Amino acid sequence: SGGVPLYIGALTRAALDSAGRPGAPSVPATLYDSLMADLDRLGPARVSVQRCSVLGTAFSTDDLDLLGGSAAVVRAHLDVAVANGVLLDEGQGNLRFAHDLTASAAYESLLRSERAALHARVAEHFPPDRARLAPEQLAFHLEAAGRPFEAAVAWRRASTKSNSASRHAEAQQLARRAIMLLDTIDLASQPDG
């Protein structure tokens, strides 16, 4: 396990699950395998957890509406994930992945096309008041959805917001992100903005 506490826990769970049961899954050889084994253990709830990973490492139950689908089914699936230690319930409808690596593994296990479609759906249904408060969240989803011009505009808004809050280093990073995106697209084909 190399002394990594997350991996030690995953190896211990895998060893206990496979102890004394013929045909039980073997102990994972890598950390990624153990993370995927934790997700596989969720059964049908795995799909909902993977979809929620698009929202980031922490999200609220209100955010589930952004992903679409049956909120009741997704909430039941998330209860399974909480019971299995994949998600942590922080109360008041706030959930968090137990570990950032678990969120990353769930996210990476989605097909790229599905990830892009989910990001596009989140961007399209992103509440306007929240976009004003957290433009960087909208920018992230727009960029991941393959909409670089709109993402650049949102990154610029985030930069302006950070600059007005005297977070100048952060504002510079966000502005650089916007410029990098603008450099990758043909601006002549884009609307004025």
Paired tokens of 97: 């992945």
pLDDT per residue of the chain (193 residues) written in tens, 0 to 9: 455 566 566 666 666 666 555 555 555 556 677 778 888 889 999 999 999 999 999 999 889 989 987 878 888 999 999 999 999 999 999 999 998 888 999 999 999 999 999 999 999 999 999 999 999 999 999 999 999 999 999 999 999 999 999 999 999 999 999 999 988 887 676 666 5
d(C-alpha 52, C-alpha 46), whole Å? 10
Q: How many CB atoms lie within 10 A of CB 24?
A: 11
d(C-alpha 163, C-alpha 172), whole Å? 8
d(C-alpha 37, C-alpha 31), whole Å? 10
pTM of the model: 0.78
Q: 159: part of which helix (H) or strand (E)?
A: helix 148-164
